[in-house]
C-alpha cells in the first residue's frame, strides 16, 4: 500500500556559464551539462553551481555550460521538449538526471542523441534505502515511514514503487489527522522508521509521543541525516529505539581524506557527493571524449554510430570504475549513483554501544557477538466482552482497570489466556481491539456486518478470538480455523427456590384445623373413658369381686394420661376392664394408628417436595407453563436461534396449510383437523418478547437471582451458564443442552493465518492445554462452599428442630414440676403434728420424762396399736410399779390374718395364696 501524490510538473530553462574559469583560446574546452530535476528540488541549481566552482578550480581552461530543466511527468516524451532542443542547439556533452526515479523518457532521449547519461541520487532515497537494508536485517516485512517534508515523502514513494522489498506506508509531517490515520492502520505495522535531521527528529518524536503512537518503542528506528546527534532529546526517554547515525568515517570517505579527518559543522553528504560526481564525470569527459559535443539545430539526431558506440563503452567503463570507488555506491544492474554513506547502529538499551554498521548501502555488519532481536509480527486481534471468555478487569467498585503504560483496558478470560499462549508459540505481538459497533456481528438488511465479523470484512482486525460461534451466515464473509472449544449450545438457568427456614416446619404438614381436631379427639376420649369407668357396672372400680387385686383406677387425670400415652408407640398402659371402655379404646387406637401413618407419610412427602430444585425440567415444560417468565440477551445467537425456529414453524404451517387446502384429490390424505406440528417456538419467542430481552448476560443473571421464588429463567450459552453456576450457589441448570455449535477463531477470507492458526491449535490440543484452561475457568471448587441441597441430603435440623425444642420444653417442665412437688411436700409436712412413741421393746421400762416429741409419738403409736388389737394390758399405773404387759391374754376379736405379730415370722401367704405381699402393719392408716 502506498500513499501516492500526483503532482503536475512545469518546465524551466536557464542556461548559465561559469564565470570563475580561466579561458585559454587555443586550449579551451566547452562542456555542456543538462541537469534534469524535480519541481520539488529548487535548490539543485545552487548545489550544481557550488559543485562546478570546485571542479573548475581543478580543471583550468574548461568552460561549463549548465542547463536546468524541471521534469514534467505528464509528458510522455522528453526528446522533443523545446528547452532540451534549445540546449542541443548550443551543444550538450552529458545529461545529468537528478530526478527521483530512472525515467525511461530521459534516458531514452539521451540514447537517441548519443549523449552520455548519468542518473544521480541527491534526495532522501539513499537514506531510505539504507533504512530498508537495516529493517530487512531485522527480518521486517512492513514499515511506516515518517518523513519531515512533502518533498521527502514524494521521493520515498517513487523509490518504493521502483525498488523496494518492504510493504511500506509513507507519511509526512505529523498532525492530529495523520496520527489518527496511523493508529487506524490495518494490519498493525511491524516497524516505524523516521529519516530526518536531528532537530526535525526531535519535533517528529515529540508529536508522536503526544499522539500516543509510541506504545512499543522497540519497533521504532531512527536515521539521522546530519552529524548533530548530540542534540537528540529523547535518548533517555526511549532507550529501546534503534538509532542509525552518520559514521565519522563517512565524512572522510566522501571528502576523499584519510581517517581520521576533520568534518566541518556544515557537512552535507549530498553536496559533497554531487561535487565528487562532477569531478569524476568532467575528468572522464576531458580524458576520454574531449571533443564530444552533441549539437542539433532542429532536434534531429545526427549520429555517428562508431562514435556513439565508443562513448557508450566509455560510459560503461566509467560507471564500473566509480562502483569500485569507496565514495560511490552503485548497485548491480542499476546505474543510479548514490553516495557511500556509512551508518553506525546504536542501541541505547546497551548504554549507547555501537552494535554494528551499514556499509556500501546494503551490507549490515554487526560487531562481535551482537545479534538483532528477531522481529515479531504484530496483529490487531478483535474481541468483545463475554464472561468468562474475554472481559475487562474491574476493581471492587466496578471501575475498569487500565494499563498504566498505554491507558488501554486490562483484559482477562479464557480467550485472553489462549491468545497469550498463541502469541508465544507463534512469536507475535498483538493489540486487543473492541468493535466500534455491535459485538459479535449482525447483518443488516443491506448485507453489511457490524461487530467482530464486520471488522474482519473491512480489515480493521487481523483475526477475532472470542466466544464466536461458527455459523453458515458468518462463513459466507469470513473464514474459521479449527474449533478450540468443545461443542457448546443453549441452556436454561434458574434460581434455586429459597426454603423458608422454620424450626416447627414439621407442624405445617397438617393444617391447623387437623391439629385442633386431634386435640379435641384426645380430650373427648379421655373424658369418655373417665365416664365409662365411673358408671359402668363392669368396671374394676364398680366390680371389686371380679377384680379382688389392685387395678388401675381411671380417674380423670389417669384417663388424660392414657389418651396421651396411647398416641405414642409406647402404648397407654393397662386398659379398662369394662367392655364399653375397651370398645372406646379400640376405636381410639385405630384412630391413632391412622393419624400416625398419615402424618409420617405426609412428612416424608413434604420434605421430599421441599428438596426439589426446580419446578420445570426441560424447555418443553417451560414453554407449556405461564407462571415462570424467561428471557434471552437481545440480538444474541440465542435470540437468533428462537427467531429462526419461529420462522421455520411459520413456514411449515403455511406449507401444510397450502397443502391441505389444495383442490387436488391426491392431497386429501393430508387433510386433518389439527395441525400436526407443535407450535412450541412461536410461544417461546412470544414469551421472551413479553418478558423483554436483556442487554447483557450479566443483566439476565441478575434478574434470575432477584426472583427468590424461582419463577424466572434465563436462556443463554451453556458454557457461560455453567461458569456462572460454578460461581453462584443460587443458580442451577434446567434440562439438557440444545442447539449445539462449536467456537472458532475467525480470520479474513483467504488469510494466510488460517492454516497457521489451525496448526498451532491442534498442537495445543495434543498437549492437553485446553483441558487445563477449561479447569481454570470452570472449576467447581466454589461449589464446595455451597450448602448441600441434593436429594441424598438428610432432613435438616432446621426442618425438625422443633421436635428437639419440644423435648427440651418437656424436660424443663418436668424440672419445674419436680421443684413444685418438693416445695409442696415440705410445706405439707411442716404443717402436720407428729406423736412420739417408744419402741415395742421398751414398753415395760419406766417412761423417761422427756419433752421430746419423738417419744410422745412412739407412745401414741403403741397405744393406737393396742387399741386396734383390743389387747389386755397392764394399766399405766401398774407399769409404773414394775408390772409387765402381757400381750394376748385377752382378746375380744381374732387378730386379722393380714397382721403378723410376734418374735417369729410367719408368712401370711402360706394361709392365703392370693396374697403377694407381707403386711407387717395394718393396711388402713394408723392416724
User: Binding site for L-glutamate: residue ranges?
Assistant: 474, 638, 717
Binding residue numbers: 474, 638, 717
Give the SS3 label for residue 495. Answer: strand
* Helix-, strand-, coil-residue percentages of the chain, each rounded to 5: 40, 15, 40
Single out the residue of 463, 472, 468, 465 nearest to residue 488, CA to CA: 468
Cell of 154: 514524494
580 and 532 Cβ atoms separated by less than 8 Å:
yes
Burial 510-539 (b: 16+ CB within 10 A, else e): beeeeeeebeebbeebbebbbbbbeebeeb
Angle, helices 414-426 vs 769-777, to 10°: value is 150
Single out the residue of 206, 268, 212 nearest to residue 232, CA to CA: 206
Torsional sign, CA 614, 617, 619, 625 = negative
Report d(CA 250, CA 229) in Å as an integer: 15
318 and 118 Cβ atoms separated by less than 8 Å:
no
Single out the residue of 139, 138, 130 nearest to residue 342, CA to CA: 130
**Given the C-alpha cell 477449561, which residue does it identify?**
774
Single out the residue of 168, 129, 171 nearest to residue 154, CA to CA: 171
- Find the angle CA(35)-CA(339)-CA(255) to the nearest 5 degrees: 100
State phi, psi for 430 to the nearest 5 degrees.
-155, 160
Report d(CA 364, CA 352) in Å as an integer: 18
**Given the C-alpha cell 499462549, which residue does it identify?**
421
Burial 93-115 (b: 16+ CB within 10 A, else e): bbbbbbbbbbbebbbebbbebbb
State phi, psi for 196 to the nearest 5 degrees.
-170, 170
432 and 462 Cβ atoms separated by less than 8 Å:
no
Amino acid at each position: 500500500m502506498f500513499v501516492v501524490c500526483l503532482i503536475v510538473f512545469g518546465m524551466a530553462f536557464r542556461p548559465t556559464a561559469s564565470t570563475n574559469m580561466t579561458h585559454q583560446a587555443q586550449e579551451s574546452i566547452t562542456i555542456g551539462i543538462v541537469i534534469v530535476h524535480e519541481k520539488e528540488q529548487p535548490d539543485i541549481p545552487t548545489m550544481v553551481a557550488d559543485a562546478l566552482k570546485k571542479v573548475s578550480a581543478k580543471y583550468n581552461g574548461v568552460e561549463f555550460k549548465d542547463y536546468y530543466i524541471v521534469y514534467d511527468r505528464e509528458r510522455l516524451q522528453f526528446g522533443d521538449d523545446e528547452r532540451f532542443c534549445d540546449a542541443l542547439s548550443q551543444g550538450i556533452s552529458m545529461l545529468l538526471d537528478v530526478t527521483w526515479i530512472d525515467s525511461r523518457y530521459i534516458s531514452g532521449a539521451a540514447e537517441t542523441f548519443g549523449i552520455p547519461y548519468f542518473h544521480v541520487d541527491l534526495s532522501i532515497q539513499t537514506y531510505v534505502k539504507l533504512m530498508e537494508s537495516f529493517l530487512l536485517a531485522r527480518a521486517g516485512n512492513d514499515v511506516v515511514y515518517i518523513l519531515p517534508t512533502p518533498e521527502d515523502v514524494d521521493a520515498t514513494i517513487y523509490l518504493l514503487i521502483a525498488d523496494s522489498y518492504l510493504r511500506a506506508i509513507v507519511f509526512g509531517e505529523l498532525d492530529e489527522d495523520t496520527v489518527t490515520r496511523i493508529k487506524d492502520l490495518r494490519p498493525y505495522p511491524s516497524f516505524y522508521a523516521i529519516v530526518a535531521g536531528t532537530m526535525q527528529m526531535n519535533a517528529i518524536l515529540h508529536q508522536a509521543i503526544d499522539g500516543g503512537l509510541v506504545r512499543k518503542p522497540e519497533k521504532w528506528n531512527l536515521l539521522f541525516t546530519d552529524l548533530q546527534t548530540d542534540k537528540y532529546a529523547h535518548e533517555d526517554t526511549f532507550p529501546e529505539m534503534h538509532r542509525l547515525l552518520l559514521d565519522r568515517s563517512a565524512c572522510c570517505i566522501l571528502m576523499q581524506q584519510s581517517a581520521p579527518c576533520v568534518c566541518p559543522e556544515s557537512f552535507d553528504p549530498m553536496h559533497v557527493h554531487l561535487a565528487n560526481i562532477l569531478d569524476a564525470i568532467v575528468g572522464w569527459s576531458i580524458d576520454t571524449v574531449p571533443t564530444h559535443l552533441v549539437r542539433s539545430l532542429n532536434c534531429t539526431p545526427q549520429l555517428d554510430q562508431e562514435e556513439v558506440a565508443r562513448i557508450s563503452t566509455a560510459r560503461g567503463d566509467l560507471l564500473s570504475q566509480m562502483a569500485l570507488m569507496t565514495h560511490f555506491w552503485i548497485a548491480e544492474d542499476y546505474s543510479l549513483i548514490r553516495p557511500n554513506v556509512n551508518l553506525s547502529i546504536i542501541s541505547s538499551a546497551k548504554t549507547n554501544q555501537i552494535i554494528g554498521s551499514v556499509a556500501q548501502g546494503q551490507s549490515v555488519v554487526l560487531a562481535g557477538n551482537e545479534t538483532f532481536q528477531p522481529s515479531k509480527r504484530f496483529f490487531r486481534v478483535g474481541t468483545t466482552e463475554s464472561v468468562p471468555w474475554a472481559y475487562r478487569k474491574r476493581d471492587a467498585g466496578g471501575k475498569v482497570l487500565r494499563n498504566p503504560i498505554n491507558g488501554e483496558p486490562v483484559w482477562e478470560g479464557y480467550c485472553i489466556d489462549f491468545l497469550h499462549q498463541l502469541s508465544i508459540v507463534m512469536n507475535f505481538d498483538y493489540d486487543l481491539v473492541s468493535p466500534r459497533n455491535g459485538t459479535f456481528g449482525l447483518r443488516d438488511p443491506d448485507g453489511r456486518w457490524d461487530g467482530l465479523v464486520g471488522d474482519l470484512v473491512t480489515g480493521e482486525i487481523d483475526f477475532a478470538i472470542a466466544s464466536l460461534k461458527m455459523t453458515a451466515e458468518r462463513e459466507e464473509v469470513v473464514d474459521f480455523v479449527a474449533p478450540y472449544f468443545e461443542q457448546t449450545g443453549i441452556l436454561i438457568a434458574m434460581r434455586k427456590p429459597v426454603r423458608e427456614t422454620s424450626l416447627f416446619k414439621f407442624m405445617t404438614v397438617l393444617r391447623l384445623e387437623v391439629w385442633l381436631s386431634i386435640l379435641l379427639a384426645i380430650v373427648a376420649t379421655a373424658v369418655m373413658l373417665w365416664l365409662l369407668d365411673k358408671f359402668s357396672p363392669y368396671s374394676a372400680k364398680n366390680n371389686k369381686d371380679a377384680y379382688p387385686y389392685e387395678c388401675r383406677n381411671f380417674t380423670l387425670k389417669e384417663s388424660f394420661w392414657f389418651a396421651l400415652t396411647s398416641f405414642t408407640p409406647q402404648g397407654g398402659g393397662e386398659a379398662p376392664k369394662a367392655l364399653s371402655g375397651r370398645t372406646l379404646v379400640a376405636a381410639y387406637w385405630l384412630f391413632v394408628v391412622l393419624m400416625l401413618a398419615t402424618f409420617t407419610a405426609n412428612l416424608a412427602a413434604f420434605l421430599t417436595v421441599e428438596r426439589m430444585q426446580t419446578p420445570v425440567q426441560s424447555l418443553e415444560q417451560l414453554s407449556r407453563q405461564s407462571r415462570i417468565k424467561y428471557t434471552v440477551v437481545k440480538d444474541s445467537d440465542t435470540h437468533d436461534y428462537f427467531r429462526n425456529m419461529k420462522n421455520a414453524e411459520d413456514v411449515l404451517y403455511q406449507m401444510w396449510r397450502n397443502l391441505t387446502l389444495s383442490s387436488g384429490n391426491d392431497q386429501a390424505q393430508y387433510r386433518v383437523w389439527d395441525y400436526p406440528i407443535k407450535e412450541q417456538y412461536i410461544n417461546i419467542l412470544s414469551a421472551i418478547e413479553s418478558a423483554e430481552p436483556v442487554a447483557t448476560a450479566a443483566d439476565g443473571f441478575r434478574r434470575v437471582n432477584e426472583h427468590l421464588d424461582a419463577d424466572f429463567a434465563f436462556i443463554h450459552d451453556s458454557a457461560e451458564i455453567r461458569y456462572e453456576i460454578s460461581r453462584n450457589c443460587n443458580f442451577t441448570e434446567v434440562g439438557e443442552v440444545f442447539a449445539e455449535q462449536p467456537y472458532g477463531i475467525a480470520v479474513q477470507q483467504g488469510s494466510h493465518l488460517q492454516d497457521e492458526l489451525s496448526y498451532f491449535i491442534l498442537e495445543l490440543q495434543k498437549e492437553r492445554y485446553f483441558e487445563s484452561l477449561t479447569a481454570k475457568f470452570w472449576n467447581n471448587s466454589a461449589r464446595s462452599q455451597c450448602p448441600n441441597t441434593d436429594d441424598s441430603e438428610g432432613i435438616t435440623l432446621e426442618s425438625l428442630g422443633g421436635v428437639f425444642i419440644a423435648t427440651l420444653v418437656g424436660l424443663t417442665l418436668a424440672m419445674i414440676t419436680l421443684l413444685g412437688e418438693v416445695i409442696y411436700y415440705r410445706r405439707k409436712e411442716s404443717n402436720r403434728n407428729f406423736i412420739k412413741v417408744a419402741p415395742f421393746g421398751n414398753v415395760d421400762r419406766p417412761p423417761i420424762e422427756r419433752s421430746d416429741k419423738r417419744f410422745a409419738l412412739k407412745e401414741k403409736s403403741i397405744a393406737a396399736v393396742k387399741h386396734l388389737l383390743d389387747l389386755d394390758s397392764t394399766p399405766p399405773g401398774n407399769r409404773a410399779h414394775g408390772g409387765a404387759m402381757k400381750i394376748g391374754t385377752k382378746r375380744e376379736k381374732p387378730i386379722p390374718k393380714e397382721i403378723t405379730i410376734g418374735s417369729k415370722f410367719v408368712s401370711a401367704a402360706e394361709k392365703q395364696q392370693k396374697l403377694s405381699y407381707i403386711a407387717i402393719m395394718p393396711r388402713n392408716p394408723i392416724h
